C-alpha cells in the first residue's frame, strides 16, 4: 500500500528551538514509521527564542523539508515593537471580552492594522505560493497546519479554493480567541479591531477545515460550542506529550541533600500566562529558615523586564539561566528536587507540564483552580498545587515541600501507567491514525462524486 502523503505547515521548525517547535518536531520524527510520507513547509529565518540543532538530528532523512524566506522581524526586535504597542502592560484578566484602549498614536495604529492577526502574517504571500506548489507537485493527500502563529490558519481558505477535496487539519497548539486575548503575552495586538479580525479569521479557517485538533479537552469543548454548525466528530483531542528518548525519568531521593537545600526548577518562558508575581510575594514571606534552603532555577526566556527585576529581588534564592537547548534544560531538570509550574490560563496546558510528568519529578504548581492543568496534575498524582493568585496557599506549598524532606519518596506516588499515555511516540501514532482516516473519507467522497459526461454535438 502506498504511503499517505502529508504536508505539515509550521512556522518554526528545528534547528529553531523553544517549546513551540516540539510538537511539529515529534510528528516529523515519528510519522514516517506510521505509513506517512511527510513534507514539512517552514521558514528559513523564524523569529525564535533560540536554536537547538539536536532536534533536527532526530528527524528521519526521508522527511522532505521545504524552507522559505519570511519577512518577519527577529525575535528581539519584535518584542520591542510589541512593548511599544502594548506599553508592556499586562491584560486585564477580569475582562476577557473587552479591551480598554486609549487612542493609539499613528505608528501604533498602522502596525496594529497591518500585522494581523500576528507579525508572522508577513510569511503569508510566500507560504501561499509554496503550499500550493507542494500540494500539486507532491500530490499531497492531507495538509496539517499547526499554530500559533495563528496567521498560518489563513491558508485553510486559500488551499480549499484551489483543492476542494484536500484534507485540511487545523492543529491548535493554543486556544486563540479567549486565551490569547486574555493571557497570551505573544498576542501582538489586543485592540477591538484585532479581536474582530481574529474572530472572522478563525471562523473562516474552521469552515474550510476537514478536522480541528486541540491539545486539551477544555479547548476542544469551547471550539465545539463556538462552531455548532460543524459536526462534533470533526473536533479531536491529541495532547502534547514528552519524548521518552530525551526526558530522563528519575525518582525522588530517599534522603535529603547534605546541605539541606531544596532545588526547584522552572523550564520555559515567563510571560503573562506564567506571571510570577504571586509566587514572588509568597517566597518573600517564607520563614527565614526555609527561605535560606530554597533555590529556584529559571531556565528560559523572560518576556517582561519587570518579571526579571522582581525575581532578582529574591537574591540568593533565585538563579536565572536564560534559554538553553532542550537536552541541557532536561539535564538540569533531572538534578532538581521539584519542578515549578505557573499556569494562569484555564484552557491551555503548558508544554513543560508533559516534560515534567515524564521526568518523574514532583510538581509544585501555582495553578488556575478551574484549569485543565490542575485537573491533570491531580489525576496523575503528579505533585501538589495552590491557586495561582493565592499567596498564602503558595507560601504553604513551599513550607510543606521543605517539611517533606526525607518523606518525599514515600509521599510522591504518581500514576505511571496514566503518564505513559502521554509519550510523544504514542501520541504520534494516534495522530497518524486520524490522518489516515481523514484521507480515506476524502477519497471515498471523491469517488462517489457524480461524473459529468460531455456529449458532443
Find the CATH number of the domain harbouring 439: 3.40.50.2000
In-domain check, residue 108: yes
Q: How many C-alpha atoms does 272 have within 13 Å on its Cβ side?
A: 21
When pLDDT is averaged across residues 186-213 and rounded to a whole number, the result is: 89
If asked whether residues 395 and 441 sit together in one domain, one would say no
Q: Is the pLDDT of residue 93 over 90?
A: no
Domain check: are 215 and 139 in the same one?
A: yes
Rounded-to-10 torsion of CA 49, 53, 56, 57 = -160
Q: Which of 52-56, 71-75, 185-189 has the lowest mean pLDDT?
A: 185-189
Q: What is the mean pLDDT of the chain?
A: 88
Whether residue 328 sits in one domain with residue 434: no
Q: Could you tell me if 194 and 285 lie in one domain?
A: no
Q: Is residue 454 one of the residues assigned to a domain?
A: no
Same-domain status, 135 and 74: yes
Task: Mean pLDDT check: name the lowest of 41-45, 123-127, 190-194, 259-263.
Answer: 190-194
Is there a domain that residue 247 lies in? Answer: no
- Whether residues 329 and 381 share a domain: the answer is yes
Q: Do residues 25 and 166 share a domain? A: yes
Q: Residue 354: its pLDDT value, please?
A: 96
Cross-strand bridge partners of residue 386: 366
Q: How far is CA 107 from CA 103, 177, 362, in A?
A: 11, 25, 47
| Claim to verify: residue 153 and residue 227 sit in the same structural domain | yes
Task: Print the domain residue range for 397.
Answer: 262-417
- Model pLDDT for residues 157-175, shown as the tens digit of each residue: 999 999 999 999 999 999 9
Report the C-alpha gap between 334 and 252 in whole angstroms: 10
Write out the E strands in 345-390.
363-367, 383-387
Residue 451 has pLDDT above 80, yes or no: no
Over residues 394-425, the pLDDT tens digits come to: 999 999 999 997 889 899 999 999 999 999 99
For residue 423, give the DSSP letter. B
Does residue 59 sit within a domain?
Answer: yes
* pLDDT, tens only, 275-308: 999 999 999 999 999 999 999 999 998 988 999 9
Same domain for 142 and 269?
no
Residue 257 covered by a domain? no
Specify the higher pLDDT residue, 359 or 453. 359
Higher pLDDT: 17 or 377? It is: 377
Query: What integer pLDDT is reported at residue 63 of this predicted model?
Result: 98
User: How many domains does the structure of the chain reveal?
Assistant: 2
pLDDT at 74 over 80: no
Q: How confident is the model at residue 334 (pLDDT cuts 50, 70, 90)?
A: confident
Q: Is there a cis peptide before residue 117, judged by omega within 30 degrees of 0?
A: yes
Amino acid at each position: 500500500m502506498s504511503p499517505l502523503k502529508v504536508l505539515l505547515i509550521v512556522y518554526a521548525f528545528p534547528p529553531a528551538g523553544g517549546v513551540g517547535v516540539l510538537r511539529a518536531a515529534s510528528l516529523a520524527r515519528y510519522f514516517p514509521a506510521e505509513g506517512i510520507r511527510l513534507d514539512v513547509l517552514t521558514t528559513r529565518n523564524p523569529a525564535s527564542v533560540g536554536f537547538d540543532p539536536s532536534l533536527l538530528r532526530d528527524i528521519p532523512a526521508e522527511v522532505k523539508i521545504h524552507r522559505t524566506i519570511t519577512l518577519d522581524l527577529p525575535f528581539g526586535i519584535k518584542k520591542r515593537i510589541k512593548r511599544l504597542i502594548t506599553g508592556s502592560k499586562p491584560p486585564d484578566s477580569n475582562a476577557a471580552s473587552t479591551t480598554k484602549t486609549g487612542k493609539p498614536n499613528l505608528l501604533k495604529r498602522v502596525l496594529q492594522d497591518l500585522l494581523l492577526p500576528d507579525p508572522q502574517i508577513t510569511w503569508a504571500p510566500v507560504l501561499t505560493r509554496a503550499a500550493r506548489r507542494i500540494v500539486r507537485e507532491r500530490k499531497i493527500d492531507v495538509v496539517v497546519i499547526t499554530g500559533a502563529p495563528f496567521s498560518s490558519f489563513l491558508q485553510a481558505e486559500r488551499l480549499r479554493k484551489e483543492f476542494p477535496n484536500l484534507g485540511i487539519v487545523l492543529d491548535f497548539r493554543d486556544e486563540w480567541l479567549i486565551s490569547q486575548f486574555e493571557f497570551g503575552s505573544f498576542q501582538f495586538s489586543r485592540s477591538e479591531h484585532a479581536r474582530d479580525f481574529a474572530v472572522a479569521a478563525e471562523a473562516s479557517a474552521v469552515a474550510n477545515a476537514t478536522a480541528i485538533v486541540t491539545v486539551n479537552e477544555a479547548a476542544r469543548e469551547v471550539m465545539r460550542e463556538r462552531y455548532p454548525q460543524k459536526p462534533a466528530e470533526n473536533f479531536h483531542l491529541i495532547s502534547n506529550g514528552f519524548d521518552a528518548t530525551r526526558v530522563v525519568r528519575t525518582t525522588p531521593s530517599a534522603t535529603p541533600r547534605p546541605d539541606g537545600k531544596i532545588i526547584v526548577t522552572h523550564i520555559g518562558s515567563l510571560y503573562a500566562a506564567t506571571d510570577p508575581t504571586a509566587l514572588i510575594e509568597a517566597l518573600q514571606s517564607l520563614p527565614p529558615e526555609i527561605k535560606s534552603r530554597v533555590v529556584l532555577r529559571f531556565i528560559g526566556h523572560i518576556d517582561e523586564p519587570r518579571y526579571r527585576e522582581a525575581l532578582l529581588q529574591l537574591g540568593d534564592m533565585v538563579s536565572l539561566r536564560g534559554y538553553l537547548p532542550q537536552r541541557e534544560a532536561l539535564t538540569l531538570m533531572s538534578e532538581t528536587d521539584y519542578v515549578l509550574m505557573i499556569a494562569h490560563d484555564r484552557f491551555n496546558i503548558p508544554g513543560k507540564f508533559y516534560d515534567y510528568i515524564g521526568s518523574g519529578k514532583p510538581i509544585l504548581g501555582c495553578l488556575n483552580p478551574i484549569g485543565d492543568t490542575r485537573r491533570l496534575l491531580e489525576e496523575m498524582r503528579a505533585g501538589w498545587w495552590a491557586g495561582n493568585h493565592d499567596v498564602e496557599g503558595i507560601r504553604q506549598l513551599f513550607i510543606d515541600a521543605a517539611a517533606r524532606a526525607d518523606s518525599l519518596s514515600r509521599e510522591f506516588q504518581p500514576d505511571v501507567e496514566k503518564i505513559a499515555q502521554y509519550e510523544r511516540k504514542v501520541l504520534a501514532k494516534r495522530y497518524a491514525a486520524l490522518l489516515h482516516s481523514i484521507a480515506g473519507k476524502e477519497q471515498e467522497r471523491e469517488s462517489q462524486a457524480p461524473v459529468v459526461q460531455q456529449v458532443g454535438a
